[in-house]
């Protein structure tokens, strides 16, 4: 389809393992965002990529979290040495430009991470 | 203090009721404001933008009060299909959208 695609849709891992989550944004969208949502909680901003600018990493909760965006398209969120509190749904979104005018982010269906 | 605060609810209302949600934001530099809707186990989707002059879309009216740093969403003639979580969202210049935790609405017949 033409929407934001995320993989895996579900990931169960053991505490201490590393995980990689992938996001394919909508073609042509210059902005890409990662959020996470824990059970019963709102969306927590993690990181934001806009074109070729340096990413806004201000939301990353610890240095175990990192993300990259290759070729201005696909993004990978990496969590090292996972902890149980990392369990959440990780949502990726994209937008065609700076979002402050339209406010419209196009979200993927999310990657549900469970750390045992 | 959270950047965006909402009453979590739940708001349980009968069909046809009018319901209002409120939201406050802490950063006076916030520039743009939105309401998103999130259905259970689904991704959030943009519902509408919020302007100081007010914004109406059918049964939905959104209002912004910059002086009070307060945003509202009014839903008239509630439908069963309006049952969802409503997320208040603000944007501060050159940053990503900041989401509130959401207010849950349940409309019953």
Using one digit for the tens of pLDDT, what is the confidence trace for A10-48? Answer: 999 999 999 999 999 999 899 999 999 998 778 999 999
B32 touches chain A (CB under 8 A): yes
Tell me which of B40, B96, B104 to substitute to probe the interface with A (most A C-beta atoms closer than 10 Å).
Answer: B96
Cα–Cα distance, B63 to A17 (Å, whole number): 46
Of the candidates B33, B43, B91, which has its C-beta nearest A110's C-beta? Answer: B43
Among the listed residues A106, A116, A103, A102, the one whose alpha carbon sits nearest the alpha carbon of residue A33: A106
Beta-strand relationship, B70-75 and A106-107? unpaired
The structure tokens listed for B86 are 């409503």
pLDDT, residue A1, reads 56
Note the pLDDT of residue A45.
Answer: 93
Q: What is the pLDDT of residues B33-67, one digit of tens each?
A: 999 999 998 999 999 999 888 899 999 999 999 99
Using a 10 angstrom Cβ sphere, with 0-12 exposed, 13-18 middle and 19 or more buried, the burial of residue B5 is middle
Chain A CB within 8 Å of residue B44 CB: yes
Q: Which residues of B touch A56 (CB under 8 A)?
A: 95-96
């Amino acid at each position: 389809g033409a929407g934001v695609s995320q993989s895996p849709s579900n990931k169960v891992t053991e505490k201490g393992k590393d995980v990689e989550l992938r996001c394919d944004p909508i073609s042509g969208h210059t902005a890409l965002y990662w959020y996470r949502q824990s059970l019963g909680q709102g969306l927590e901003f993690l990181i934001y990529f806009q074109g070729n600018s340096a990413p806004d990493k201000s939301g990353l909760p610890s240095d175990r979290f990192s993300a990259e965006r290759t070729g201005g398209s696909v993004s990978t969120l990496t969590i090292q040495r996972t902890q149980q509190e990392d369990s959440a749904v990780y949502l990726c979104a994209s937008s065609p430009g700076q979002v402050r005018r339209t406010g419209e982010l196009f979200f993927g269906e999310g990657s549900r991470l469970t750390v045992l | 203090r959270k950047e965006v605060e909402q009453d979590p609810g739940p708001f349980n209302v009968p069909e046809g009721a009018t319901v209002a949600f409120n939201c406050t934001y802490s950063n006076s530099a916030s520039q743009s404001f939105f309401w998103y809707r999130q259905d259970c186990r689904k991704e959030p989707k943009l519902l509408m933008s919020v302007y100081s002059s007010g914004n109406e879309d059918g049964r939905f009216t959104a209002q912004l009060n910059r002086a009070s740093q307060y945003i509202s969403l009014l839903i008239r003639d509630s439908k069963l299909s309006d049952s969802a979580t409503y997320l208040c969202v603000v944007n501060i210049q050159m940053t990503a959208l900041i989401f509130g935790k959401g207010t849950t609405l349940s409309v019953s017949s």
